[in-house]
Structure 1
Amino acid sequence: MTIDTAFTHFPSLATNRLQLRQIQPSDAEAFFAPFSDEETMQFYGEPHRSLDDTRQAIEQTQARFVQREAIRWGITLTGEDQVIGSCGFHHFDTDFYRAETGYILNRAFWGQGIMIEAMSSILTYGFAELGLHRVEAIIDIANERSKSLLLKLGFTYEGNLRQRYSFQGRFEDQHYFGLLKDEWHGSV
C-alpha cells in the first residue's frame, strides 16, 4: 500500500482494546470533552468554548483527509462507538517517506495505556502499509506526559527548537523527536 492508497479509503485499525476509525460529525459531543478541558488542551491549543468549535475542528479533520494532507483516527474502546481521543499522521513528505504524528486523549482515560496502544497501531500501519521511513513528533518542552509516551514508543529526542511557536502571548520552545522504521519493533 502507498500513502495515496490510504487516502482512497479510510483505513480502520483494531487493537486488543481499541477500534481506530474515521472521525464523524456525530462525534462532536464526545470530542468536546477533551477539546474543552483546560488541562488536556494545555499543550494542544486554545480550549474549545462551544460545540461549534469542535464541529469546525472535525470539519477541518475531514477536509484534510479529502485533500490528502492528514489521516486522523478517532479512538474508541472495542464494542463502543464513543470516541475518547484521536491520533494520526500529518505533514506528509512523500519524497522523503516521512510524516509527523499527533494525539489527544480525554483526561478520564489517562494512565490506562490507551494512547500507547493506539499509537503502536498507527506506527505499525505507517511503517508497514504507508511505506514511511521516519515519523516525527514535535511537542511543547514542558509536556512531560507526551515526552514519556514518545520515549516508551521508541522515539529519540533529537533537539530543542527554540521559540518555535507563539502560544498565549509568548514564544515557546518545542522538543523534536524522531522514530525510524528500523527502530520500530511493533507494539509496545
Structure 2
Amino acid sequence: MNFPGTVVLETKRLVIRPFCEADAHDMFYNWANSSHVTRYLTWPVYKSVADAEETLNAWVKDYENPKNLNWCIEWKENHQAIGSIGVVHMNEEIEEAEIGYCIGEEYWKKGIMTEALKAVMGFLFNEAGFNRVCARHDTNNPNSGRVMKAAGMLYEGTMLQAGRNNMGICDLTLYAITRDLYFKHSS
C-alpha cells in the first residue's frame, strides 16, 4: 500500500481536500451544530465555533502522518465546507479502509455524499492501493446505507448491538467493496 496523505480530489460539484483552520465557521454552522446530523455519530453536537476550531487544530496537526486520510467536502457552488469524509479505521494486514462521513442537512438527498464517497474510494483503490473499502451505519439510519449502495458497495450483513453512537447501543449494517469488484464495475 501507498500512503500519499490527504490529497486534493475533485469531482463535478466538489473539492475534496484537507481541512484547514479557516473551515471552523463552516464546520460549525453547516453540520457540527446539528442534532440531526450528529444523531447517529459518536461525537456530540458542537456548542460553539470554538469547538470546531479545537477539532480542526488537531486534525490539521494529524496531517503530518501520511496515513491520516481525512477530507473536507467543499461545495464548489458556494466554496463552503459542507461535510467530512475519511478513513476512520485501517487494517493494513488485509489492506482495508473503513470510511466514515457526515454532511450538512441542507445537502442531504442530492447525491453529494455518494459523489464524495466514489471519489474517495477511487483514490483508496487507485492511489493508496487498498484491497477493501467498507463502511457501516446504524440500522436506524438507512439513508447512509443508500449512499453506500449507490457508490457501489455491497451489503455484507447486520451486526446486532455492535456499535454505540449518540442514540445509544445500536445494530450496525456493513457494506463493502473489494478492489476487484470496484474495477469490474468501473470498466
Provide closer, same or farther for how the CA distance between residues 141 and 55 of structure 1 changes in structure 2, counting only shifts above 3 A. same
What are the ranges of 5 or more consecutive residues in structure 1 without an aligned counterpart?
Answer: none
Which shifted more, 20-29 or 154-163?
A: 154-163
Structure-2 residue corresponding to 1:165:
163
User: Residue 16 of structure 1: CA displacement?
Assistant: 1.2
Provide closer, same or farther for how the CA distance between residues 166 and 111 of structure 1 changes in structure 2, counting only shifts above 3 A. closer
RMSD: 2.1
Structure-2 residue corresponding to 1:17:
13
Query: Retained in 2: the 8 A contact 1:100–1:137?
Result: yes
CA distance in 1: counterparts of 2:67 and 2:55, whole angstroms: 15
Say whether residues 1:58 and 2:56 are aligned partners.
Answer: yes
CA distance in 2: counterparts of 1:169 and 1:105, whole angstroms: 18
What are the ranges of 5 or more consecutive residues in structure 2 without an aligned counterpart?
Answer: none
TM-score (norm 2): 0.88
Query: Retained in 2: the 8 A contact 1:13–1:19?
Result: yes
Structure-2 residue corresponding to 1:36:
33
Identify which of structures 1 and 2 has the higher relative contact order when contacts are C-alpha pairs closer than 8 Å and 6+ apart: 2
Percent identical residues: 26
For the residue of structure 2 that corresponds to 1:40, the secondary structure is: helix
Which shifted more, 57-66 or 84-93?
A: 57-66
Structure-1 residue corresponding to 2:108:
110
User: Residue 69 of structure 1: CA displacement?
Assistant: 4.7
Query: Retained in 2: the 8 A contact 1:99–1:135?
Result: yes
For the residue of structure 2 that corresponds to 1:118, the secondary structure is: helix
Which letter does structure 2 place at the counterpart of 1:28?
A
CA distance in 2: counterparts of 1:103 and 1:38, whole angstroms: 15
Structure-1 residue corresponding to 2:70:
72
CA distance in 1: counterparts of 2:94 and 2:60, whole angstroms: 25
Deviation digits for residues 115-147 of structure 1 (CA, Å, limit 9, x no counterpart) = 111111111111011101101112111111101
CA distance in 1: counterparts of 2:76 and 2:34, whole angstroms: 24
Provide closer, same or farther for how the CA distance between residues 168 and 82 of structure 1 changes in structure 2, counting only shifts above 3 A. closer
TM-score (norm 1): 0.87
Deviation digits for residues 42-94 of structure 1 (CA, Å, limit 9, x no counterpart) = 11132111222222222333344334453111111236432111112232222
